[in-house]
């Protein structure tokens, strides 16, 4: 392998794939980035076994391709060296398993690994992928992933459930104490029913690579999904198991509907939770005639009461307790100025929606404090 390439182009592509470089080093070759140079251009590929990221630099963006070939280069070193080299053009050349990186004033000689040792992740694509706007996928991830579980005790809940039926895509995440549902309309309808669970961690890594303005293809397989966008392929494993059926969990009726300014509610919960027990983070919320009062009383610390004005649909009052962090994360997922809360009683889960938009539902299970 031998090529000349602009530092900036190599660096931006290394930054993409570096997100997948394994830092645990169980398999030494996965601490590396696989370089494959052919007549069409340069492929970079890295994996931590959970995700695979592959990027392509077209030959039109490479100064010189002198000799095709492939090798695995230690990820940390090639990234740091490329980032810190002050020259515009980098020469990359292999000599057996040695990698030579040269500039007019420096010479680096790194130990590589044979490219055949790098696992073959088979990133073949399907013919009819699902196509989304990247910004819609970004919304799905940002508005649901926080509700997925961090606990490995129920692995399936560490993922986000994506279902597609016709032209409706529904994403659900839950840790069993709260739940987030986001629905979007696809541009075209698909024939198969899709029902997969993608690890939250994969989607969060993916979200860092997404930009607002382009489309993304979803290539769904039995046990994996490949996202294709820009000059990138991003593969994630899928989680096995049955995701809870949420249709019975979301209440269809309610006793009180409260309309409230989103920022005001967020801020009083934030301040009230300052005095909560840091582990449990539980605060009370009282809804009276036209006021919403949050409060917290922690023996060692002290107590607090904060209040705001709200709109209500009837004279029913309610007192309820919940985890303040869960509530704040749910509220943060909305962009509207006002939101509505639909509540039944102090023991039943309640839901939060934007005022005139059913596409996002946040559900919170209250905490019993008596």
Contact region for its own copies (CB under 8 A) — 17-25, 97-105, 282-290, 356-364? 97-105
- Residue 214, both tokens: 């382009």
The one among 8, 58, 80, 167 contacting its own copies by CB under 8 A: 80
Rounded to 10 degrees, what is the CA torsion of 42, 107, 24, 140?
A: -40
Judged by CB, which is closer to its own copies: 108, or 221? 108
CA dihedral 113→49→36→79, nearest 10 degrees, is -70
Q: Does 277 bind its own copies (CB under 8 A)?
A: no
Query: What x-and-dash track marks residues 300-329 binding its own copies by CB under 8 A?
Result: xxxxxxxxx---------------------
Shortest CB 110 distance to its own copies, Å: 4
3-state secondary structure of 80: helix
Residue 14 contacts its own copies per CB under 8 A? no
Binding mask 210-249 for its own copies (x = CB under 8 A): ----------------------------------------
Binding test (CB under 8 A) with its own copies, winner from 60, 105, 116, 315 = 105
Q: Is position 267 an interface residue for its own copies (rule: CB under 8 A)?
A: yes
- Return the structure tokens found at 126: 């399907």
Coil, strand or helix: which one is 152? coil
Cβ-based neighbour number of residue 74 at 10 Å: 20
* Closest CB to its own copies among residues 49, 270: 270
CB of 4 closer than 8 Å to CB of 90: yes
**Alpha-carbon dihedral angle through residues 31, 83, 18, 158, given to the nearest 10 degrees:** 120
The pair of structure tokens assigned to 191 is 């024939």
Tokens coding 226: 């490949």
Tell me which residue has tokens 């919304």: 139
User: How far is Cα 360 from Cα 17, in angstroms, rounded to an integer?
Assistant: 32
Binding segment for its own copies (CB under 8 A), chosen from 43-51, 140-148, 181-189, 295-303, is: 295-303
- From candidates 271, 319, 338, 348, binder to its own copies by CB under 8 A: 271
The smaller minimum CB distance to its own copies, of residues 98 and 280, is found at: 98
Q: Interface with its own copies by CB under 8 A: which residues?
A: 74, 77, 80-81, 84-86, 98-99, 105-111, 267-268, 270-271, 274-275, 300-308
């Amino acid at each position: 392998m031998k090529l000349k390439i602009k530092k900036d182009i190599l660096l931006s592509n290394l930054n993409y794939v570096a997100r997948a470089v394994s830092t645990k080093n169980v398999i030494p070759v996965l601490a590396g980035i696989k370089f494959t140079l052919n007549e069409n251009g340069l492929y970079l590929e890295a994996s931590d076994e959970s995700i695979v990221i592959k990027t392509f630099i077209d030959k039109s963006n490479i100064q010189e391709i002198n000799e095709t070939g492939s090798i695995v280069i230690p990820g940390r070193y090639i990234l740091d060296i490329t980032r810190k080299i002050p020259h515009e053009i980098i020469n990359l050349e292999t000599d057996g398993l040695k990698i030579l990186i040269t500039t007019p004033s420096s010479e680096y000689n790194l130990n590589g690994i044979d490219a055949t040792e790098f696992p073959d992740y088979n990133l073949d694509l399907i013919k009819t992928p699902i196509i989304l706007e990247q910004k819609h996928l970004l919304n799905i991830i940002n508005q649901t992933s926080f509700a997925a579980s961090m606990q490995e005790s129920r692995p399936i809940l560490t993922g986000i459930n994506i279902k597609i039926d016709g032209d409706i895509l529904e994403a659900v995440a839950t840790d069993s104490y709260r739940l987030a549902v986001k629905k979007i309309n696809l541009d075209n309808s698909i024939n198969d029913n899709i029902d997969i669970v993608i690890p939250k961690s994969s989607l969060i890594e993916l979200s860092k690579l997404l930009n607002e303005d382009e489309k993304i293809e979803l290539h769904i397989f039995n046990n994996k999904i490949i996202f294709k966008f820009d000059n990138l392929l991003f593969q994630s494993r899928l989680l096995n198991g049955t995701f809870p059926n949420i249709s019975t969990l979301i209440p269809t009726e309610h006793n009180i509907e409260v309309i409230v300014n989103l920022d005001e509610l967020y801020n009083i919960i934030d301040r009230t939770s300052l005095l909560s027990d840091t582990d449990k983070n539980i605060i009370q919320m009282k809804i009276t005639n036209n006021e919403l009062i949050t409060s917290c009383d922690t023996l060692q610390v002290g107590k607090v009461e904060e209040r705001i004005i709200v709109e209500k649909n009837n004279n029913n009052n309610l007192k309820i307790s919940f985890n303040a962090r869960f509530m704040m994360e749910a509220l943060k997922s909305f962009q509207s100025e006002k939101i509505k809360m639909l509540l039944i009683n102090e023991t039943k889960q309640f839901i939060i929606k934007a005022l005139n938009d059913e596409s996002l539902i946040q559900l919170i299970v209250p905490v019993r404090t008596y």
